[in-house]
A and B are shown apart, each in its own frame.
Chain A
Amino acid sequence: MSNNHHAVAAEGGHDHGTLTTKLIWRVFWILLGVTLFEVGIAFTSIPKDILMYTFIVLTIVKSYYIVGYFMHLKYEAVPFRWTILLPFILIVYLIFIALYEGSALSMSPL
C-alpha cells in the first residue's frame, strides 16, 4: 500500500516534497553553466549554422529546466501538462511558415 502511494506521487500527483532545495540549486547551476557555455562558444570559429542549431537546442534545454522544475510543471498531473504544452505545436508551425516565407522573399527582387 505504501509503495502504491509513492508511485502515485512520483508519477504526477502533487507531492511538493519531490522538489528539494538541493534540486533547486542544482537546476540553477545547470542554467548558469549552459548560459556561460553559450556565451563562450559564440565567438569561436565554429560554423554559424552549427552554432545556431546549438543555441536553439540549448535554449530548449534551459526552458525544460525552468518550466519543469521552477514552474513545477514536471510534478503536475499528466493531462494538465499536455493541456499546457500541446498548443505550442501552432508556434512551431508559425516558425516554419514565417522563416520559409522570409527567406523566399529575400531571394526575390523587390
Chain B
Amino acid sequence: MASHAAPANPSKIWGGGISPFSMTWGKMFMWIFLVSDAFTFSSLLIAYGYMRHRFSDIWPIPGDVFTHFPFIHGHVPLAYVGLMTFILIMSSVTMVLAVFAGHNLDRKAVLKWLGLTIIGGFMFLGSQAWEWFHFIHGSEKGAYVLADGRFARTDDLEPGVLIFQDHSKVEGAEAQALMETAKKNIHGANLTENEYGNTPLFANFFFFITGFHGFHVFSGVVLNIIVFILVYQGFNDRKKDYELVEKVGLYWHFVDLVWVFVFTFFYLV
C-alpha cells in the first residue's frame, strides 16, 4: 500500500521527471500565443470603450447602424450579427467534434468535421464582407452636416425626416430647408467621416476591430485547410497522433471567443 502512495497521484505533486502541466510544448505555446492575442483584442476593445465613454453624447447606437438583413426591406437590428454568431458557434462545434474524432484516430470523421469547419469559416467571412459592404455603402440619403454645424441623420424608412444626435426629429418643410442649406451630405463610412455619428472614431474602430478579427478568421481557415490536407495525406495516421488538429482547434475556438466579445461590446451594449 505504502509503495503505491507516491506514484498514484502524479498530477498533485511534482517531483521532476514528468511535465508539471501534463501537456506537450506545442499545445502550451499555442495557449501562450492565445493569451497574448487575447491581450491585443482586449486592448482594442478597451480603447473602443474608452472613446465611447469619452464621446458618449455623440456616439452612435449600434442598434440604429446595423439594421440590414439580406432580402428584407426594413429594419431588422441585430438579426444579421446574430446569424454570424450562430455560424461561428456552429463551426466551433464542428471543430470540437473534429478534435474528438482525432482522439479516436478516426481519420474519416476528422476530415468530415474539419471540412465542415472550413465551410463555416468561409460562410462567416462572406457574411462579414456583406456587413462591410452595407456599412461602407450606407443609407440612401445619408447624413447631413447642417449650416450651423449640427449633425443630422436620415432614415430610409422615414423620408424627409432629420434625426439629431439627441434623437429629436425635424420633418416637413423645415427639414427640407435645412437639407438644402446643409454644408455637407455624407454617405456611408470611410476613415475620415461616416453617416452614423459625428465622429470618425466609430467607423475607425469598426474597421479595425472587425477587420482584425476577420483576418484572424481568414488565417484560421488557411490553417484549417493546411491541416485538412495533412490529415488527408495520412500525416497524422503515420504519427498515430492527431494533436495538430487539437492545436488549430484551440486557435479556432479562440477566434470564436473573440467574436463573442466583439458581438457584445460592439453590437449589443
For window 68-89 of chain B, which residues contact chain A by CB distance below 8 Å? 77-79, 82, 85-86, 89
A14, B23: Cβ atoms under 8 Å?
A: yes
A46 at the interface (CB under 8 A from B): no
> Which one, B20, B21, B53, B93, contacts A106 given CB within 8 A?
B53
Q: How far is the CA of A70 from the CA of B4 in the complex (A)?
A: 35
Q: How far is the CA of A38 from the CA of B47 in the complex (A)?
A: 24
For window 240-269 of chain B, which residues contact chain A by CB distance below 8 Å? 250, 253-254, 256-257, 260-261, 263-264, 268-269
16 sampled A-B residue pairs with Cβ under 8 A: A8-B11, A13-B11, A14-B22, A14-B23, A21-B100, A24-B96, A58-B264, A70-B256, A71-B250, A71-B254, A71-B257, A76-B22, A77-B11, A80-B31, A98-B47, A99-B50
User: Range of interface residues on chain B?
Assistant: 35 or more
Q: How far is the CA of A95 from the CA of B39 in the complex (A)?
A: 12
A99, B53: Cβ atoms under 8 Å?
A: yes
Residues in B whose Cβ lies below 8 Å from that of A69: 96
> Which one, B95, B97, B260, contacts A62 given CB within 8 A?
B260
B57 at the interface (CB under 8 A from A): yes
**Given A35-B89, A80-B23, 14 other A-B residues pairs in contact with their CB atoms under 8 A:** A13-B22, A19-B100, A35-B86, A43-B78, A52-B269, A55-B264, A70-B253, A76-B23, A77-B20, A77-B21, A94-B43, A98-B46, A98-B49, A99-B50
> Which one, A13, A80, A102, contacts B54 given CB within 8 A?
A102
Interface string of A48-79 (1 = CB under 8 A from B): 00001001101100110011011100001101
Q: How far is the CA of A54 from the CA of B141 in the complex (A)?
A: 35
Residues in B whose Cβ lies below 8 Å from that of A99: 46, 49-50, 53
Closest CB-CB distance, B218 to chain A, in whole Å? 20
B256, A91: Cβ atoms under 8 Å?
A: no
Closest CB-CB distance, B199 to chain A, in whole Å? 12
B8, A42: Cβ atoms under 8 Å?
A: no
Main SS at interface, chain B:
helix
Q: How far is the CA of A99 from the CA of B47 in the complex (A)?
A: 9
- Name the residue among A21, A83, A98 with the largest chain B CB count within 10 angstroms: A98
Q: How far is the CA of A58 from the CA of B269 in the complex (A)?
A: 12
Residues in A whose Cβ lies below 8 Å from that of B49: 95, 98-99, 102
Q: How far is the CA of A27 from the CA of B95 in the complex (A)?
A: 13
Residues in A whose Cβ lies below 8 Å from that of B9: 4, 8
